[in-house]
Amino acid sequence: MSGPHPVVAAARRAVWQALSDADVPTGRRLLLAVSGGSDSMALAQAVLFVAARNGFPVVSLTVDHGLRSDSRAEAEQVAEWLVQYGVEQGLVRTVDVSGPGGPEAAARTARYTALADAARSLAGTDGAPAVVLLGHTADDQAETVLLGLARGAGARSIWGMPVVGALPGAEDVIALRPLLELQREDLRDGLRSADIDWVDDPTNDLDSNWRAADGTVLRRSAIRHRVLPELSRALGPGVVGALGRTARQLRDDGTALDVWAQRESTGMGGQLAITYLRTLPVAIRTRVLRLAALAAGARAGELSTWHLAHLDDLVMGAGGGRGIDLPGGVRAVQRDGRICFDGVGLEGVDPVDRPSAGRVKGR
């Protein structure tokens, strides 16, 4: 008797490895995020196999974004499929995607909020939320890296997504992405080998009526249908995997730098002496400044590379009590040979020396 399709076996191994890496105890409930697309159906196929053999109860959640008249019925159909395949319960939640930040960001925020709420509602007797499993693939990782490159927001923006991490916007909820090294077309071959259906969401197409805030094609759809195919034609079929490997290497290096910066920050005990900060490599110094700004109340999601560059200019530039305002009502200033953070905005400190939002002089 032949075994499973090779990609099906690989997906099962990846699920088990992710559960092991996250130290998920047997008996912890797993929450599958399943849209009904091929990626999430391949995830469900692998997770249900592993869970049944290792004592993990599984619930699924299908989020209906309400973007099409038939989207609710489609979501309920997906939930029924999953119950047939073996989940304890197939949940469906309809969300509002009219929030700020453009349609893609609003939909993503609404989706993660629904997942976080469901994970908490499925907490075990120890109070720990269910572990969320997401069906992001190597293709999604490549798209994420390219989006980060286009934004020019620094190395952290092209780390890509982690296999094990917190669910975005919900630090108390573990999220696993076990399929990040497997490609979409291969996973579809695995689904076909097991006669498992999936649905194709037309909102992801280039001609979808769902557009970016400026009326153009959604950024991720443009990368998926235009940029990555063109890169593959120009550079060869290994582009997707290469982008994923690059992201993983950058994440490993960046994590090591974060650990070093945390040790420096702890050793300084909150006293950010300018003379000592100047002895640190810029990659460590800016991380120390970022940690201090966050501890003072700066908003992480809005603290940009622009802010960090100008914080660093406070350290490396001339003295004179200069300062910079940060998101969250926090102000960083030079004071008595140190970098200090005040939650006082513009009041009570010397006028800010604000370079333009470009290259910092002397850098």
Per-residue pLDDT at 157: 86
Segments of 168-304 assigned E as strands: 170-176, 272-273
Question: Residue 360 falls within a domain, yes or no?
Answer: no
Please tell me the least confidently modeled range out of 41-55, 169-183, 271-285, 320-334. 320-334
Q: Is 268 within a domain?
A: yes
Phi, psi (rounded to 5 degrees) for 82: -65, -35
Residue 79 near residue 41 (C-beta atoms within 8 A): no
- Answer whether residue 127 is part of any domain: yes
Residue 49 lies in a domain: yes
Q: How far is 357 from 126, CA to CA, in rounded Å? A: 48
- When pLDDT is averaged across residues 47-51 and rounded to a whole number, the result is 98
Ramachandran assignment for 322, one of left (phi > 0), alpha (psi -120 to 50 degrees), beta (any other): beta
Report the distance separating Cα 314 and Cα 334, nearest Å: 7
Last residue of a domain, one of 219, 237, 255: 237
Residue 92 CA, chain-centre distance (Å), reads 23
Residues 130 and 46 in one domain: yes
Alpha-carbon distance of 76 to 78, in angstroms, equals 5
When pLDDT is averaged across residues 281-302 and rounded to a whole number, the result is 94
Q: Which two tokens stand for residue 134?
A: 């997401």
Q: What are 197's strand-pairing partners?
A: none
Least confident interval from 125-129, 157-161, 320-324: 320-324
Q: Are residues 20 and 118 in the same domain?
A: yes
Q: What is the number of other CB atoms lying within 10 angstroms of the CB of residue 234?
A: 8
Question: For residues 144 and 157, what is the distance between their CA atoms, to the nearest angstrom?
Answer: 9
The pLDDT tens digits of the residues spanning 207-256 come to: 777 777 777 888 888 999 999 999 999 999 899 999 999 999 999 999 99
Q: Any idea which of 3-12, 274-283, 331-340 has the lowest mean pLDDT?
A: 331-340
In a domain, 218, yes or no: yes
Task: Copy the structure tokens of residue 130.
Answer: 């269910």
- Report the range of poorest mean pLDDT among 2-16, 140-154, 198-212, 327-341: 198-212
Out of 161-175, 204-218, 295-309, the most confident range is: 161-175
pTM, two decimals, is 0.85
List, for residues 63-102, the tens digit of each pLDDT value.
998 878 888 999 999 999 999 999 999 999 999 888 776 7
What CATH number is given to the structural domain containing 69? Answer: 3.40.50.620
CATH of the domain at 323: 3.30.465.60
Q: Closest Cα partner for 303 from 158, 98, 157?
A: 157
Let me know whether 201 and 299 are in one domain: no
Q: Specify if 156 maps to a domain.
A: yes
pLDDT higher than threshold 60 for residue 357:
no
Report the pLDDT averaged over residues 186-209.
Answer: 88
| Nearest in space to 177 (alpha carbons), one of 220, 144, 132 | 132
215 shares its domain with 294: no
The pLDDT, as a whole number, for residue 345 is 35
Q: How far is CA 86 from CA 44, 60, 136, 211, 331, in A?
A: 10, 10, 21, 36, 54
pLDDT at 355 over 80: no
Are residues 319 and 280 both part of a single domain? Answer: yes
State yes or no: pLDDT of 1 exceeds 70. no
Instruction: Choose the weakest-confidence range: 1-5, 21-25, 355-359.
Output: 355-359
Q: Per-residue pLDDT for 350 more than 50?
A: no
162 and 301 part of one domain: no
In the predicted structure, residue 316 carries a pLDDT above the cut 90: yes
Looking at per-residue confidence, does 191 or 237 come out higher? Answer: 191
What average pLDDT does the chain have?
89
Task: Give the structural domain span for 38.
Answer: 6-237
Strands 323-326 and 330-335: antiparallel
Q: Domain check: are 197 and 324 in the same one? A: no
- Both 19 and 71 in one domain: the answer is yes
Q: Is the confidence at residue 354, as pLDDT, over 50? A: no
Residue range 253-290, pLDDT digits in tens = 999 999 999 999 999 988 899 999 999 999 999 999 99
Q: What are phi and psi of 87, to 5 degrees?
A: -75, 150
* Domain co-membership, 127 together with 166: yes
Q: What is the DSSP string of 38-59?
A: HHHHHHHHHHHHHHHHHT--EE
Beginning with the edge strand found earlier in the chain, give each strand of the sheet holding 323-326 in spatial order. 272-273, 338-342, 330-335, 323-326
State the pLDDT confidence band at 119, using cuts at 50, 70 and 90.
very high
Q: Are 27 and 114 part of one and the same domain?
A: yes
- 207 and 288 both lie in a single domain: no
Q: Are residues 233 and 336 in the same domain?
A: no
Instruction: Provide, rounded to the nearest whole percent, the portion of the chain with pLDDT above 90.
Output: 73
353, part of any domain:
no
Q: Residues near 166 by Cβ (< 8 Å), separated by ≥ 6?
A: 172, 173, 174, 175
Q: Residue 154 — very low, low, confident or very high, per pLDDT cuts 50/70/90?
A: confident
Query: What is the arithmetic mean of pLDDT over 44-58?
Result: 97
**Number of domains making up the chain:** 2
User: Is 78 inside any structural domain?
Assistant: yes
pLDDT of residue 361: 33
pLDDT score, position 319? 62
